[in-house]
Structure 1
Amino acid sequence: MTATTPTEDHHMTPTDVRTDTGRITVRYSHEGRMATVLIDRPRKLNALTLELLDDLYTELRAIEHSDARVVVVKTAGEKAFCVGADITQFAHFTPAHMWKRWIAEGHRVFNYLARLRQPTIAVVDGIAVGGGLELALACDLRVGAGTARLGLPETSLGTIPGWGGTERLTAVVGAARAKELIFTRRQLDADTALGWGLLNAVAERDDLDTVTTEMVDRILEGAPTAVQVSKQLVDAAAAGAPSSILEALASGFTAATDDFAIGVTAFQNKTTPTFTNS
């Protein structure tokens, strides 16, 4: 798949938000049980500004309260998934503004993305560095093109990964590898990122849509409540919460859903369950 500026699709319901020099920079569409968020700033390699982050937050809030069951995060253009923060914007911030606004805003938006009840998939087509990699890390899963390159180059600017990269990268690849990427500013190719667990799948660009859709379909085959509660349990476990307590509570909760009865009946009858999300 080659990411391009999207055209209107009468099967989708796009929400167009604030513009960047006359261009829409964030698009949200909802088709069936999948929501797609597209960051559309290819001329700037999808660099992130405060305004774009605010627009992204608005769209994520709409998705959280929708009936979407999977969220796909994509960006426009062939060169870069996202090159991170727009340096021309933050280079002029005072230290106090960096502390109170720039870093806080990135955490607000990326934390919201990470805490969505729906599973999220980042489609990494091209370069994902700095805040761009941190954006991808805020998603649950990552599918990358064979041309993808991933890294955290902030120390070359005299600063550090500031939007959750140190924490989320460490959780995914471990402390030693996270330190290597941050200290040396190494960019991983797609195959290495796959081997490290930083990508969940790699595909040729023309096949990205297909591979992503296959992953979405597999997620959609599960009972919606069970999938979303499982996401919360894994996130809680990563934060040190005891599974013996939370899994007991979650099992009791999911056992009370109609989907649990549907799943058990289908298993006994050797049929495919049709879940109702209730």
Structure 2
Amino acid sequence: MTATTPTEEHRMNSTDVHTDTGRIAVSYTHEGRVATVLIDRPRKLNALTLELLDALYTELRAVEHSDAQLVLLKTAGEKAFCVGADITQFADFTPVQMWKRWIAEGHRVFNFLAQLRQPTIAVVDGIAVGGGLELALACDLRVGGPGARLGLPETSLGTIPGWGGTERLTNVIGAARAKELIFTRRQLDAETALAWGLLTAVAERDGIDAATDELVDRILEGSPAAVQVSKQLVDAAAVGAPSAILEALASGFTASTHDFAIGVTAFRNKTAPIFTNS
């Protein structure tokens, strides 16, 4: 796969955080046109703390300023994509701390991820519950392994999904199904999540990398500017922005790019376009 098999790997950044629960690492690598952000806390099933969220934000800012055309979000370990918030940390917070720090920090980081100009894909292998599912929902697309399990169990703790889950889950699967998952704490298997639109694709066993590569390659075949502007248009439409105005402006912009001329010429010549991102 040309998109994810580079001739060399460039490590752009790495953030190590130490907490009372052990070492946490968040890293960012840039291979070819694809950036990969990795959360590496497998001993704790990649549970999220304030320190980890801050490290993730640092790496996402590096991605924002890079020339990467697509972003993969991955986590370490085979059991879980992410089990959500580290309960041992937030259980001791006062109501004011929950309001000022815990919920606010999750929204800050997840909103930043969601607003990246590049398409983002969460590679969901294993359990993705609570804040882990909310993290995956902050990405544009989600590829799941056959063992993926997705849900929002917060009501069993006497609380609610607090990092954008009520909004993003509703936008993806609709209000009734979002309510069902939140009210009943049901975990969806990979095939059901695919049928509901919560997952974009489901891989065969041991095939999640190949399934991700296939999706990446398809996206990278398009003009980078056109793909990224299209993402912004869809996100704007979701909050009620007028498409007639924004699409006119976006069409004018993309028509002025060199890639537009390449695409039109390739169409006329019945050849595959090779975009230059210019």
- Fold in common (TM above 0.5): yes
User: TM (normalized to structure 2)?
Assistant: 0.95
Mapped partners of 2:197, 2:33: distance in 1: 27
Contact persistence 2:119–2:228 (CA under 8 A): yes
Secondary structure of the 1:27 match is strand
Query: Where in structure 2 are the equivalents of 1:178-257 lying within 5 Å?
Result: 178-257=178-257
Indicate the residue corresponding to 1:91 in structure 2: 91
Contact persistence 2:9–2:29 (CA under 8 A): no
Secondary structure of the 1:35 match is strand
Indicate the residue corresponding to 1:264 in structure 2: 264
Greater mean alpha carbon deviation, residues 14-23 or residues 62-71 = 14-23
Mapped partners of 1:205, 1:85: distance in 2: 28
User: TM (normalized to structure 1)?
Assistant: 0.95
- Amino acid paired to 1:12: H
Secondary structure of the 1:18 match is strand
Residue by residue over 1:78-122, the C-alpha shift from the partner in whole angstroms, topping out at 9 and shown as x without a partner, is 100000000000000000000000000000000000000000000
Residue by residue over 1:124-178, the C-alpha shift from the partner in whole angstroms, topping out at 9 and shown as x without a partner, is 0000000000000000000000110000000000000000000000000000000
Secondary structure of the 1:74 match is strand
Query: Where in structure 2 are the equivalents of 1:121-132 lying within 5 Å?
Result: 121-132=121-132
Unaligned runs of 5+ in 2: 1-6
Residue by residue over 1:233-260, the C-alpha shift from the partner in whole angstroms, topping out at 9 and shown as x without a partner, is 0001111111111111110110011100
Could you tell me how far 1:179 is from its partner in structure 2?
0.2
Mapped partners of 2:170, 2:27: distance in 1: 30
Mapped partners of 2:9, 2:15: distance in 1: 19
Unaligned runs of 5+ in 1: 1-8
Could you tell me how far 1:11 is from its partner in structure 2?
2.0
- Amino acid paired to 1:156: S
- RMSD of aligned residue pairs (Cα, Å): 1.2
Could you tell me how far 1:24 is from its partner in structure 2?
4.4
Contact persistence 1:262–1:275 (CA under 8 A): yes
Secondary structure of the 1:178 match is helix
Could you tell me how far 1:205 is from its partner in structure 2?
4.0
Indicate the residue corresponding to 1:112 in structure 2: 112
Secondary structure of the 2:206 match is helix
Contact persistence 1:84–1:133 (CA under 8 A): yes
Mapped partners of 1:19, 1:233: distance in 2: 36
Q: 1:238–1:154: structure 2 CA closer, same or farther, 3 Å change rule?
A: same
Q: Percent identity?
A: 81
Q: Does 1:12 align with 2:10?
A: yes
Could you tell me how far 1:20 is from its partner in structure 2?
3.1
Could you tell me how far 1:14 is from its partner in structure 2?
4.6
Greater mean alpha carbon deviation, residues 267-276 or residues 10-19 = 10-19
Mapped partners of 2:112, 2:17: distance in 1: 22
Indicate the residue corresponding to 1:169 in structure 2: 169
